Chain A
Amino acid sequence: MTNTRDNDAWLNDLQAGGAQRDAALLDLHALLLRALPQGLSRLLSPENPEFESLIEDTAQETLLRTLAGLETFEGRSQFTTWVYKISVRVALNELRRRRWRDVSLEGLEGDEANDGAPRQFASSDPLPESVIERAEILQRVQQILAEELTERQRAAMRAIHMQGVPMEEVARRMGTNRNALYKLMHDARLRLKHRLEREGLNPTDLLETFAQE
């Protein structure tokens, strides 16, 4: 199967209707069946019994979305690359849904048990000066985190950064979408960064400080 159409030919055939459109859809379907296994094999083993059905279902859904969104194609890439992009979104969303559907993410409702509570140190310990300073910095940072982040923001950060939960899934559980969640997290990161910098705590410097022996 080779791609013998340029972008205009794809658009022309898919918008034509009838046998012309059916032939183009068949060709696009064949291209997807070839390329999708390569794109998804790192995310789901081809040996997995669900692999083939995922490929087929993704191809079908992609064709539907392609037809529905033809007018949004701006020609800034090859048409097939644009279609592949749609298929990747379809497939990964499905994989994320399957992988996380049965996993409880109670933390999103705000589990503060192990989240940023300042640690207590035995002040009588004969600690080296640098270690004491480090502990004080850590305590200040933890205090700032507690003051600047809401429970939901901390829960979302924990799920994404610590549990490896996809943003898409966290957003779904929070009743929002991934785009909005990213903006929410960006606002939270910026607010934290500004506050730390106002207090003379640059995140890069902090990482270097804590990395020192």
Chain B
Amino acid sequence: MPTNNKIMKSIFDWFRRRFKKWYQPDPMMQKLLQSLAMTEEHEISCDDVYAVLDQFAEAVMRGENVLLFMPLVRQHLDMCPDCRAEYEALLDMLQPSFYVGA
């Protein structure tokens, strides 16, 4: 019976969703596992990033491959929300209509 199959399927789906919810890491752990997966043995600090952020942003604006010559800066920006926010604001300031230093 197609109708019965549908009902059974929806019941199974409900149970599956419930179990999945119960046996999933909570959001805190999910985020932590994500950050652990991205953790490197050697990471540079916020001060190290700040020291080269202007140079890095200009390289990005020129379309250079920053992953190649500044991979540690890129990795830090992926890990640190504060530095990332500063980097993004700096990039916005360097957009062509405002970038008078080039």
Give the B-binding residues of A (Cβ under 8 A).
1-3, 31, 34-36, 38-43, 76-82, 84-85, 87-89, 91-92, 96, 114-116, 119, 121, 127-128, 131, 134-135, 138, 141-142, 145, 157-158, 160-162, 164, 166-168, 178-179, 182-183, 186, 189-190, 192-193, 196, 203-204, 206-207, 210, 213
CB distance from B40 to the nearest CB of A (A): 9
The answer, yes or no, to whether B67 is at the interface (CB within 8 Å) is no
Within 8 Å by CB of A186, from B16, B28, B39, B100, lies B39
Are A92 and B58 neighbours in the complex by a CB distance under 8 Å?
no
Are B92 and A203 neighbours in the complex by a CB distance under 8 Å?
no
Interface size on B, residues (CB 8 A): 49
Are A76 and B101 neighbours in the complex by a CB distance under 8 Å?
no
The answer, yes or no, to whether B11 is at the interface (CB within 8 Å) is no
The winner among A84, A89, A142, A162 for most chain B CB atoms within 10 A is A84
> What separation, in Å, do the CA atoms of A82 and B54 have in the docked complex?
6
Are A213 and B16 neighbours in the complex by a CB distance under 8 Å?
yes
Number of A-B contacts (CB under 8 A): 153
Are A203 and B33 neighbours in the complex by a CB distance under 8 Å?
yes
Are B28 and A115 neighbours in the complex by a CB distance under 8 Å?
yes
Give the A-binding residues of B (Cβ under 8 A).
16, 19-20, 22-37, 39, 41, 43, 45-47, 50, 52-55, 57-58, 80-82, 85-86, 88-90, 92-95, 97-98, 100-102
Known contacts A35-B98, A160-B81, A206-B33; A81 and B54 CB within 8 A of each other: yes
What are 6 contact pairs spanning A and B, CB under 8 A? A42-B89, A81-B90, A88-B89, A116-B28, A162-B28, A193-B39
Are A182 and B80 neighbours in the complex by a CB distance under 8 Å?
yes
Known contacts A2-B100, A142-B29, A186-B39; A81 and B80 CB within 8 A of each other: no
Known contacts A34-B98, A76-B55, A141-B29; A179 and B89 CB within 8 A of each other: no
> What separation, in Å, do the CA atoms of A144 and B21 have in the docked complex?
21
Are B93 and A88 neighbours in the complex by a CB distance under 8 Å?
yes
> What separation, in Å, do the CA atoms of A160 and B81 have in the docked complex?
9
